Structure 1
Amino acid sequence: MDKIMVSAAAAVADVDSGSSLAVGGFGLCGIPSELIAALRDTGRTGFRVVSNNCGVDDWGLGLLLANGQIARMTSSYVGENKEFARQYLAGELEVELVPQGTLAERLRAGGCGIPAFYTPAGAGTQIAEGGMPWRYGPGGSVAVVSPAKEVREFGGRDHVLEEAITTDFALVHAARGDRYGNLSFHASARNFNPLAAMAGRITIAQVEALAELEPDEIHLPGVFVDRVVCVGAVDKRIEKRTVA
């Protein structure tokens, strides 16, 4: 039952090239920065990543991107990373943009064993109709486009069928965890972390402290977590300052 790993490097040692990854965090808040850095150091490539965004140019998932280790991103927002835009427009990176609530529910559904669900988000747009550029080709041509999705009417309103997401691995950050894999998140750093953890077939959690958690303190039960590594205090950067 003891799920504690000795280091971040040991925790990600079996994450092979081409693996799919669900990664927690929102902007730079609650990102598994130590696990991302350990994955960068492996030099493995071709990762297919599902995360709300792709970090910034010099932090978070942006480190993997700059190192040419990400082949595909499924995200809601990607506007803070210039290298992301460059790779996407150059045809080096495949990108699936998903409405944020839909992305959250696709991850949750994957963790709950729900294969698909209907949502009104995206009905009447290219999300449902298809044709969104997933990958560009030479000279700005579009090489791969999104497929059309099934649409059904419920209560007089169109709904889009969205498939659940499961991944080979999930990387998440929590404030505290115990040896059984139970996790406790701090405030808004919870964000996508529980959902990403649920979607991973093997879920790896970095925690700032190991602790004996009381039942009421547990935000995510250890049944969803396979490995825990204590990384201590981590660098918590601010993505965009809005004050002097």
Structure 2
Amino acid sequence: MIDKTVASADAAVADIHDGATVMIGGFGTAGMPDALIDALIAQGARELTIINNNAGNGDSGLAALIQHKRVRRIICSFPRQADSQHFDAAYRAGEIELELVPQGNLAARIHAAGSGLGAIFTPTGYGTELAEGKETREIDGRHYVLEYPLHADFALIKAHQGDRWGNLVYRKTARNFGPLMAMAARCAIVQVDAVVALGELDPEAVVTPGIFVQRVVELPASAAEGARA
């Protein structure tokens, strides 16, 4: 019997090792798997490479992971905003490396990894500092930059509902990078509001099929908030 459910967030992230590359879903705080991140902080893994759209907000979630000095390198498209003080402090102190990737390229490179592509050519970044040292090519009169896929050892994502096979549905914009990251990681760990019985999810609404998911942990909103208290 296939059952990918895990009893707790702590158990779900227990084998994330020092130096791992971890994709974390979320667009700002929308779709951010806060409870899984809190469990990762408690677990203690260090020297992590994080792939995320942002570099943390306020004092929770990814920002707290940076504050606890667990992140060695971050690959993201939007590292600075009004409440990114923990990233700012770490970057200015030379404690964290940054690879800045335009948002479209970030999604395309994650998608390339999940699709098994060796590389992609994208026009975004051509003629800028982001293209320095990279292969470029003119195709049909337009200039492109060669970019490589972004793979990960683990992905931490959040979905609205899942079943024990790992099929997932998302809630509105909380979906964002989740489906792509589940495809691109060796081990996708998903925080869901509810685990439902097989057959309860409308097949037409399933965005991420269970084949891309390895672990599902049910963390209703109230429980997740209590874990951060």
Identify the TM-score tier after normalising by the shorter chain: over 0.9
Shift of 1:173: 0.1
1:188 matched to 2:191? The reply is: no
Other-structure match for 1:27: 28
Does the 8 Å CA contact 2:35/2:224 hold for their aligned counterparts?
no
Give the aligned residue type for 1:219.
V
**SS of 2:31's equivalent?**
coil
**SS of 1:188's equivalent?**
helix
Does the 8 Å CA contact 1:28/1:236 hold for their aligned counterparts?
no
Other-structure match for 1:219: 207
Aligned counterpart in structure 2 of residue 119 of structure 1, from 119, 122, 134: 122
The normalised TM-score by structure 2 is 0.93
Give the aligned residue type for 1:123.
Y
Give the aligned residue type for 1:114.
L
1:163 matched to 2:148? The reply is: yes
Give the aligned residue type for 2:186.
R
Give the aligned residue type for 2:212.
F
1:85 matched to 2:85? The reply is: no
Mark the CA change 1:111 to 1:234 in structure 2 (over 3 Å): closer, same or farther.
farther
Shift of 1:57: 3.1
1:233 matched to 2:226? The reply is: no
**SS of 1:30's equivalent?**
coil
Distance 2:222 2:98 in 1: 29
Other-structure match for 1:58: 59
Other-structure match for 2:113: 110
Bigger shift: residues 75-84 or 98-107: 75-84
The normalised TM-score by structure 1 is 0.87
Identity %: 46
Does the 8 Å CA contact 2:56/2:87 hold for their aligned counterparts?
no
Give the aligned residue type for 2:113.
G
- Report Cα offsets for 1:46-89 as digits up to 9, x if no partner: 11000101221311200100000000000000113112112112
Q: Which runs of 5+ in 2 are unaligned?
A: none
Shift of 1:120: 0.2
Does the 8 Å CA contact 1:108/1:199 hold for their aligned counterparts?
yes
After superposition, the CA RMSD in angstroms is: 1.4
Give the aligned residue type for 1:126.
E
Moved over 6 A (4+): none
Other-structure match for 2:188: 203
Give the aligned residue type for 1:227.
R
Distance 1:56 1:236 in 2: 17
Other-structure match for 1:142: none
**SS of 2:221's equivalent?**
coil
Distance 1:155 1:66 in 2: 47
Distance 1:89 1:208 in 2: 37
Shift of 1:11: 0.3
- Report Cα offsets for 1:194-220 as digits up to 9, x if no partner: 111111100000000112312112011
**SS of 1:103's equivalent?**
helix
Give the aligned residue type for 2:42.
D
Other-structure match for 1:96: 99
Other-structure match for 1:241: none
- Report Cα offsets for 1:157-202 as digits up to 9, x if no partner: 1100000011000000000001000100001111111111111100
1:172 matched to 2:157? The reply is: yes
Does the 8 Å CA contact 1:52/1:77 hold for their aligned counterparts?
yes
